[in-house]
A = this chain, B = another copy of it.
């Protein structure tokens, strides 16, 4: 298929910020793009050739949209899988494949899959309703504290909670969920694996994530991770194993824990460009968005190593601020060495809402880390 022709159409399910960054990269190759998205004022609208309004969970909306494109990809996992399956049967190239999405979309299914395939992961229990958790605790089948995760539709720090008391239990949404043992980890790590339909597979360097203690959101993503070479190798091997078993096409971001005794446990995966890969826009030879496009179009994959060290800082809404957003001191951080802000353009801020990210690149990772700290302390996402 000639992707560099006006007859070819790439469809993207979801029109959010990830989709927008993906769309910029399609311009390098002049690919005709079409987006399906439920929100009229989605970020993608400015960057795609065609925009279709529709519900991503609706069979007909997804199926009808898919029939109009040659290759179909996603920027969010919550899409109608039955429609994708039918499209695949009818010859549309769906990347990642529906089979991979079925494993990933539901976190309980995802965890069972790891157990089934012998992939190391934290111990967990599945509950059809959150109300069953209380029984489990009372029957001593489960001990406080533990991590609760919604089986579906988790997003932006939502859908994950540390539960310490019966009171915490009362705040949980009612639906299907899992609980996980809390892992007293040394580091949270991630590896991006990329695969194209021809079978070429590449991995990005291991990155290290520092989390905000309360919001359960990543504060810093650091590439390369400051860990021992043999731990990094183990993390890459396990990520490749997950990738092989899931059989994804495109990007797969594999999040992992490095335990106190240097074991690697898979936490969860995302089958699309991911927050843990944003540093790649400035630091890598091939950024994750260009790489995803290369993969799903079955083009040769690009170099995954870095030109320089990269650190990403998430820009989230400050506590106590809700309303029209102001990026306080953004000029000050832009005066710092190797700093590029990415403002997503959401008009309203609220506590911990993901409003953008900032990348810091430097030849010296320790210098990058010092600048990242100053960025974090200087910029504030507040309301007017």
Contacts and interface: CB of A to CB of B under 8 A. Distances in A.
A308 interface: yes
A353 to B, nearest CB: 15
Interface stretch (A160-168, A216-224, A340-348): A340-348
Contacts of A4: 326-327, 330, 343
Contacts of A49: 46
A331 B300 contact: yes
Contacts of A342: 28
A117 interface: no
B343 A29 contact: yes
Contacts of A28: 340-343
B47 A340 contact: no
Interface residues of A, number: 40
Nearest to A5: B326
Interface in A292-345: 294, 299-300, 302-303, 307-308, 326-327, 330-331, 334-335, 337-345
A1 to B, nearest CB: 11
Given A307-B307, A361-B307, A334 B300 contact: yes
A222 to B, nearest CB: 17
Contacts of A344: 30
A285 B345 CA distance: 23
Nearest to A342: B28
B340 A286 contact: yes
Nearest to A325: B4
A111 B342 CA distance: 41
Contacts of A30: 343-345
A20 B27 contact: yes
A6 B2 CA distance: 40
Given A303-B338, A338-B303, A285 B331 contact: no
A337 B4 CA distance: 21
Given A4-B327, A46-B49, 5 more contacts: A28-B340, A28-B341, A29-B341, A29-B343, A307-B308
Top-3 shortest CB links A-B = A30-B345, A300-B335, A307-B307
